[in-house]
């Protein structure tokens, strides 16, 4: 009787297990797929935060922080010149603008907008518009430049960094 019962329980168990075993790896696979999709969403937000951190560091004249947002071999290309690597990027900014951290800001503003970020694993790219706003003579805000950044990003030591950031002037009284 016990053997019979154990036999039918075991047979039932085997049948049920087939269902569970068919489900569990599928669930694990689905979970991995979903986790990869969540990662892409998080990556986009991390890159948005990187772009805003850049603007904030620029406006706060904090070029140590600014330079730290670039990958070890990250490049900055713009109206002030070209530099590769955080040290060279810091040096370029320090020479051109001056490292003078102002926690409450410098009174000039990089407004970043319309980021078109594309994620591809540990690399990403984007085009992002930026408006440079300063104070006019009557102290009202003035659109000074409209430009965009062409960006390449890399995930380096688990954090997104600029691999290449090129500023391209679109509307500017200083026609380049």
Phi, psi (deg, nearest 5) at residue 103: -55, -25
HSE at residue 118, side-chain half, CA atoms within 13 A, is: 7
Between 72 and 141, whose beta carbon lies closer to a copy of itself? 141
Q: Is residue 171 within the footprint of a copy of itself (CB under 8 A)?
A: yes
Instruction: With contacts defined by CB under 8 A, name the span among 12-20, 71-79, 86-94, 95-103 that binds a copy of itself.
Output: 12-20
Among 4, 98, 103, 158, binds a copy of itself (CB under 8 A): 4
Instruction: With contacts defined by CB under 8 A, name the span among 21-29, 90-98, 149-157, 159-167 that binds a copy of itself.
Output: 21-29
Contact 107, 62 (CB under 8 A): no
Among 73, 82, 96, 114, binds a copy of itself (CB under 8 A): 114
Q: Is residue 28 within the footprint of a copy of itself (CB under 8 A)?
A: yes
HSE at residue 12, side-chain half, CA atoms within 13 A, is: 6
Kind plus residue range of the DSSP H or E element containing 70: strand 70-78
Bridging pattern class, strands 159-171 and 70-78: parallel
Q: Measuring CA to CA, how many Å separate 39 from each of 27, 29, 54, 120?
A: 18, 15, 22, 11
Instruction: With contacts defined by CB under 8 A, name the span among 65-73, 79-87, 101-109, 150-158 that binds a copy of itself.
Output: 101-109
Instruction: Report the alpha-carbon distance of residue 166 to residue 123 in Å, rounded.
Output: 16
Which residues make up the interface to a copy of itself (CB under 8 A)? Answer: 2-14, 16-17, 19-21, 23-25, 27-28, 30-31, 34-35, 37-38, 41-42, 44-45, 49, 52-53, 55-56, 105, 107, 109, 111-114, 116, 129, 131, 133-135, 138-146, 170-173, 175
């Amino acid at each position: 009787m016990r053997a019979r019962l154990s036999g039918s329980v075991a047979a039932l168990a085997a049948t049920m297990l087939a269902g569970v075993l068919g489900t569990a790896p599928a669930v694990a696979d689905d979970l991995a797929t979903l986790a990869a999709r969540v990662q892409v969403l998080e990556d986009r937000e991390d890159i948005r935060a990187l772009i805003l951190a850049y603007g904030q560091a620029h406006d706060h004249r904090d070029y140590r922080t600014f330079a730290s947002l670039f990958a070890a071999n990250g490049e900055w290309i713009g109206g002030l010149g070209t530099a590769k690597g955080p040290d060279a990027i810091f040096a370029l900014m320090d020479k051109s603008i001056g490292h003078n951290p102002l926690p409450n800001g410098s009174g000039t503003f990089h407004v970043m907008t319309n980021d078109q970020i594309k994620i591809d694993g540990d690399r990403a790219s984007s085009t992002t518009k930026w408006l440079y706003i300063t104070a006019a003579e009557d102290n009202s805000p003035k659109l000074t430049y409209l430009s965009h950044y062409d960006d390449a990003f890399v995930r380096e030591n688990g954090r997104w960094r600029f691999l290449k950031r090129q500023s391209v002037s679109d509307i500017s009284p200083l026609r380049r």
